[in-house]
């Protein structure tokens, strides 16, 4: 897995197209700090990030760049707002530096924790999915009930879209799920685990 750690950040940043550079941002080997919020990287257990568009009716106004972090006792949500393309390059660059910098510092640990769960015959949960040595159990809701259906590893295939991870059954077209990166915690971790399973033949 990737071992390179990006450069530390310590600068004043703006958080939207029209804001001033008056927000203190620090990212180093141990902490993420934005103004008065301080999070110890070793305490982060869940992460989600992604981009969505801002629209007024049919008219595009810009983009929002999201980064959310969770520890046992803390949840932090950062949204960078870009309007009408103003300073969009700056905000995209800041977003990518933050996401890449944090992921390179915690992603391997979170992925290894999930893999070790499977190796120990335990399970972990991502959104409506329970992941185990047997496969992925999907919790599917209907108008009157909630059903849990298992897709075994031999029956499962997945696709990575720009905004979501798609889980499918090869045999049963009724069994599928969209895991949106912005909606479900640790979807990126599950993507890494699936790559390990199917590319590196994990659990064999």
pLDDT range class, residue 60, cuts 50, 70, 90: confident
Percentage above 90 pLDDT, the chain: 84
Q: Is the pLDDT of residue 168 over 50?
A: yes
Question: Do 96 and 18 reside in the same domain of the chain?
Answer: yes
pLDDT of residue 145: 54
Q: Is the pLDDT of residue 2 over 60?
A: no
Is 27 inside any structural domain? yes
Is 204 inside any structural domain? no
Domain boundary residue among 107, 142, 174?
107
Largest CA distance in the chain: 55
pLDDT of residue 203: 73
pLDDT range class, residue 200, cuts 50, 70, 90: confident
Is 113 inside any structural domain? no
Q: How many structural domains is the chain composed of?
A: 2
Question: Do 14 and 73 reside in the same domain of the chain?
Answer: yes
- In tens, the pLDDT along 12-38 reads 999 999 999 999 999 999 999 999 999
Is 26 inside any structural domain? yes
Residues spanned by the domain of 169? 123-199
Is 176 inside any structural domain? yes
Is 3 inside any structural domain? no
Is 35 inside any structural domain? yes
DSSP the chain: -----PPPEEEEE-SBTT--S-EEEEE-SSEEEETTEEEEGGG--EEEEEEEEEEETTEEEEEEEEEEEE-SS-EEEEEEEEETTTTHHHHHHHHHHHHHHHHHHHHHHHHHHHHHHHHTT--EEETTEEEETTEEEEEEE-SS-EEEEEEEGGGEEEEE-SSEEEEEESS-TT-EEEEETTTSTTHHHHHHHHHHHHHS-TT-
Determine the average pLDDT of the residues in 108-128.
Answer: 96
Domain boundary residue among 48, 77, 107?
107
pLDDT range class, residue 143, cuts 50, 70, 90: low
């Amino acid at each position: 897995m990737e071992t390179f750690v990006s450069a530390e950040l310590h600068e004043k940043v703006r958080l939207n197209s029209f804001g001033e550079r008056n927000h203190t941002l620090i990212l180093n080997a141990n902490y993420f700090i934005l103004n008065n919020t301080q999070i110890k990287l070793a305490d982060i257990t869940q992460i989600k990030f992604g981009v969505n568009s801002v629209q007024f009716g049919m008219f595009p106004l810009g983009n929002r760049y999201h980064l959310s972090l969770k520890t046992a006792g803390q949840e932090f949500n950062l949204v960078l707002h870009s309007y009408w393309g103003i300073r969009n390059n700056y905000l995209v660059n800041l977003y990518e530096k933050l996401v890449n910098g944090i992921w390179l510092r915690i992603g391997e640990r979170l992925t290894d924790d999930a893999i070790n769960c499977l190796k120990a015959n335990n399970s972990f949960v991502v959104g409506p999915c329970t992941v185990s040595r047997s496969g992925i159990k999907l919790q599917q809701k209907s108008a009157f009930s909630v059903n849990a259906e298992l897709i075994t590893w031999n029956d499962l295939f997945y696709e990575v879209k720009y905004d979501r991870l798609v889980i499918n059954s090869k045999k049963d077209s009724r069994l599928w799920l969209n895991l949106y990166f912005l909606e479900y915690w640790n979807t990126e971790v599950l993507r890494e685990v699936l790559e390990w399973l199917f590319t590196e033949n994990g659990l064999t």
